[in-house]
Amino acid sequence: MLAKPFDQAFDDEDWVFEIKWDGYRAVADLSHTNPQFYSRNGISFLSKFEKVAKDFDQQKHKMILDGEIVAYDEHGKPNFQLLQQIGDHPDMALTYQVFDLLWLNGHSTEELPLVQRKELLKEALTETDVIKYCDHIPEKGTAFFNQMKKMKLEGMIAKKAGSLYMENHRTNDWLKIKFTNTDEAIICGFTEPKGSRENFGALILGKYISGKLIYCGHTGTGFNHESLKQLHDRLQKLIIKTSPFETVPKTNMPVTWTKPELVCEIKYSEITKDGIYRHPVFVAIREDKEPKDTDTPTNENLREMKAKTPLKKAENSEKEKEITLDKHKVKLTNQDKIYFPKDDITKGDVIAYYQSVASYILPYLKNRPLSLNRFPNGIEEQGFYQKDAGDSMPDWIKTTKVYSESNDKYIDYVYCNDKATLAYLNNLGCIDLNPWNSSLPDLEHPDYLVLDLDPSRKNTFDDVIETALQVNEVLDAIKIKGYCKTSGSTGIHIYIPMGGIYDFDQVKDFAHILMKQVNEKLPKLTTLERSLQKRDDKKIYLDYLQNRTGQTLASVYSLRPKEGASVSMPLEWEEVKPGLKPTDFTIHNALERIKEKGDLFKPVLGKGIDMMKVLELLQNGE
């Protein structure tokens, strides 16, 4: 995807802003066993930039990445000319700044909005000394642009936060805004050298304007002895007899014309009314650019394009509305987007459901980090998990930093304490809500224990019910009250209040003891074998490992991204009997049932059990 030139920085809440790197654009295709790494015009970078390529094997996912290879001078500033001398300086400081994700683990991501692609990228990319995630800032383009100017960088790229990835298109959704006037021009010929100069005097420059090759000036500065000779040698192979321009430009010196194939980057002070560069200086040959890449619209087209660029906010369409909840403005978009195609349930319906049950569900979300399970295009399209809040969340959304050992970094988790956050998350495509078992300020001690009954392919829901009743018998025998809910999918969850007294390992080990008892009572129906490959496909997995730091399950009263729009619903034990179905409770009847029964799950957040007493009872029972 390509960016159009634009002449001024701007602020807009629907846009994000990135550094404009002065380097080689490069795609890394890590979708196969042998990685590919290539420029925009298909030149392989694998051997030239081996320093980057050798870090591809540290990536854990199959992906296609888009980014820019950047070389840095001794002051740590990006330097394009250095990049061309990589062969002479193998130890040069280099990075591959990755700013987009086009494909992940078997699925194209090009149809997802940019900010979602970047959130996925942030999760999936393993950063190394050389491979870096290129971050962005939302909304505040003017301040960012001024900061880039102070740092003497090349400029910035403005990208519409919701833009899809359009391959090989230069659209108004991506704009490049530079400080220095640089441009790409085509070398169309050269003049004879004068005085003591060797090889050539000046390069004749052209560019395509709406498909037609037009003369745009000449440059004789920016070369040293070596670059003059190298370029002269290359141009010898491109010499032609007649001018490539329809209208032959007037020059002071005789010209040797060349095929318009080599693209170079130049700096200049301004462009005259006739389209001629003033004070152009040669910077480098752009091996990664084709002559057609220099094609720009006519001034008329440019004026039209600028008029279309939405720097001022467009009126909200009917699909969009802004509501105020808990004194926060929440912008709801695409309200009529279908989330459950077979049930004709829209994003607006999902948001309305959660607002209607907010007073019931919020106590189970309060102060608990959430893993966001997002389905921005509905349940039949690819969804993705997001743990890190990223920079695109509004300031009022509450987050907490938690260190992740597996990623060796802090992850900024969202938690949901109010209706505004609930609506915002639903608007992002969070159809179900998956909180931790522990809550702030003490994330080390879970508030409850979870026994997750997870059926295999050939189990019926009646098998799950039989197992749940057996769990309840085990709990009754040791005088524990368990609280049961449908998962909203194929399983049943049984919760035991722990009161935040015991740590995760103690709770997990206790859950393991309980599940072993259930397995002993139902050896033909249940298993403690976690691996799907090794597990008998007629057995229910007694999952006690949900009681680990950072594990999440769909919250009570949460919708599930399943056909039928089922809800994870608490049950009285008398209701847990054959014939019950997880699809009995849906978006259509959940609120009515909750009002009728009250909050059956309330004790889960209450006083915890005395685990030591229970373990004594267990021992005596044995």
Q: How do residues 465-492 score in pLDDT, each as one tens digit?
A: 999 999 999 999 999 999 999 998 999 9
Residue 403 buriedness (CB in 10 A; 0-12 / 13-18 / 19+): exposed
Give dist(CA 86, CA 279) in Å, integer.
28
Residue 372 and residue 411 in contact, taking contact as beta carbons nearer than 8 Å: no
- Candidate from 50-64, 76-90, 398-412 with smallest mean pLDDT: 76-90
Which one has a higher pLDDT value, 313 or 433? Answer: 433
- Is 90 exceeded by the pLDDT of residue 321? no
What is the per-residue pLDDT across 335-356, written as a single tens digit (0 to 9) for each? Answer: 999 999 988 999 999 999 999 9
| The predicted structure's pLDDT at residue 370 | 94
Residue 599 buriedness (CB in 10 A; 0-12 / 13-18 / 19+): middle
- Is 50 exceeded by the pLDDT of residue 134? yes
| The predicted structure's pLDDT at residue 548 | 93
Local confidence band at 317 (pLDDT 50, 70, 90 cut-offs): very low
| The predicted structure's pLDDT at residue 263 | 95
Q: Tell me the average pLDDT of the chain.
A: 89
Local confidence band at 213 (pLDDT 50, 70, 90 cut-offs): very high
Give dist(CA 401, CA 388) in Å, integer.
9
Residue 457 buriedness (CB in 10 A; 0-12 / 13-18 / 19+): exposed
Which of 334, 325, 343 is CA-nearest to residue 560?
A: 343
| The predicted structure's pLDDT at residue 297 | 58
Give dist(CA 107, CA 89) in Å, integer.
38
| The predicted structure's pLDDT at residue 507 | 96
- Is 80 exceeded by the pLDDT of residue 313? no
What is the per-residue pLDDT across 252-286, written as a single tens digit (0 to 9) for each? Answer: 788 999 999 999 999 887 788 788 998 899 999 99
What is the per-residue pLDDT across 517-570, written as a single tens digit (0 to 9) for each? Answer: 999 999 999 999 887 777 788 899 999 999 999 899 999 999 999 999 999 999
| The predicted structure's pLDDT at residue 542 | 94
Local confidence band at 405 (pLDDT 50, 70, 90 cut-offs): confident
| The predicted structure's pLDDT at residue 621 | 66
| The predicted structure's pLDDT at residue 310 | 43
